[in-house]
A = this chain, B = another copy of it.
Amino acid sequence: MAIAPTPPTGRPATDVGRLLASCPDRRGIVSALSTALAETGANIIRSDQHSTNPEGGDFFLRMEFHLDALAERRGVLEQRLEHVGRELDLDWRLTSADTRKRVAIFASRYDHCLLDLLWRWRTGELDMDLVGVVSNHLDRADDVAFFDVPYHHVAVTHETKQDAEQAQLDLLEGIDLVVLARYMQIFSGDFLRRVGAPVINIHHSFLPAFAGADPYTRAYERGVKLIGATAHYATEDLDEGPIIEQDTHRVSHADSPDELTRIGRDLERLVLARAVRWHLDDRVIVHGNRTIVF
């Protein structure tokens, strides 16, 4: 895919790095990592950590730091982290805030999540290279063109699904993130294994309630007093992947399924946008089927 020109309004983040690390919890992890950063000349801007259990549990850490000439000194820092990492049995990765992730959005006919993401990208809220939009319909082509983003139409039918997924995979070469903005097709396990990037989906219910089809109708029938939306990483088990973000909104007996759909659109937009933003900022760590959001 050709990359859409990133708007100039994105947050500048030169020389800002992010260290994500996990290991068995033990004494001295923060000391070792913060010392490696300090010795390289970095100033920690933000630090978050979580331990599932200080006694024998798993430890997770995210440090955001400023380091002058990060690009040049990255090698030195990585050597130090490599050294520290061996001692701590550390699983770590280092990202640079100014290396934007390459993102593809999948959409079908609904416009609300798609337009919202396009607007947030244009306004600089989502710091990403938007590689393009893939859709099984033509309906949204003009909307996407207005934002100067490439639009790829890949029709999907029951018969052509396998070929369609191959065509999609070809388009996704080198991608860092796939966002499903109410994309109404279910990917095969094969696709998810081969895509080589996390896939964020928005489901229009408060999972695990109303997984599967028609959640608004089922919410109406069950008579719930709040509806919700859930952004999660897509896995082969539909609507069962690690949850990144959720929110709910009050409804009443007077709200028909159509009204729930209308109210839910706002929830879906907000919840998906937050999840994508946090992922882009390397704030989400998957641990089993749960997420740690720093």
In the complex, A22 Cα to B145 Cα: how many Å?
A: 50
A246: chain B residues within 8 A (beta carbon):
224-226
Stretch at the interface among A37-45, A71-79, A173-181, A187-195: A37-45
Whether A123 contacts B146 by the Cβ 8 Å rule is: no
Contact with A28, one of B38, B262, B290 (Cβ below 8 angstroms): B38
Closest to A39 in B: B31
Name A223's contact: one of B42, B48, B210, B242 (CB within 8 Å). B242
User: Closest chain B residue to A284 by CB distance?
Assistant: B253
Check A206 for interface membership: any CB of B closer than 8 A. yes
B43→A26 contact, CB < 8 A:
yes
Query: Which chain B residues border A253 with CB–CB below 8 Å?
Result: 50, 287, 290-293
Separation in Å of the A197 CB from the closest CB of chain B? 21
A180 vs chain B, min Cβ distance (A)? 19
B31-A54 in contact (CB<8A): no
Cα-based distance from A71 to B50 in the complex (angstroms): 25
Residue of B nearest to A118 (CB): B115
Question: Which residues from chain B contact A27 at a C-beta distance below 8 Å?
Answer: 38, 41-43
Give Cα distance in the complex from A210 to B44, angstroms. 34
**Residue A209 at the B interface, CB < 8 A?**
yes
Task: List the 10 closest A-B pairs by CB distance, nearest first.
Answer: A223-B290, A31-B38, A209-B209, A31-B34, A28-B38, A30-B34, A225-B246, A31-B35, A27-B43, A253-B292
A-B contact pairs, 5 of them (CB 8 A): A26-B43, A30-B47, A206-B209, A209-B209, A221-B289
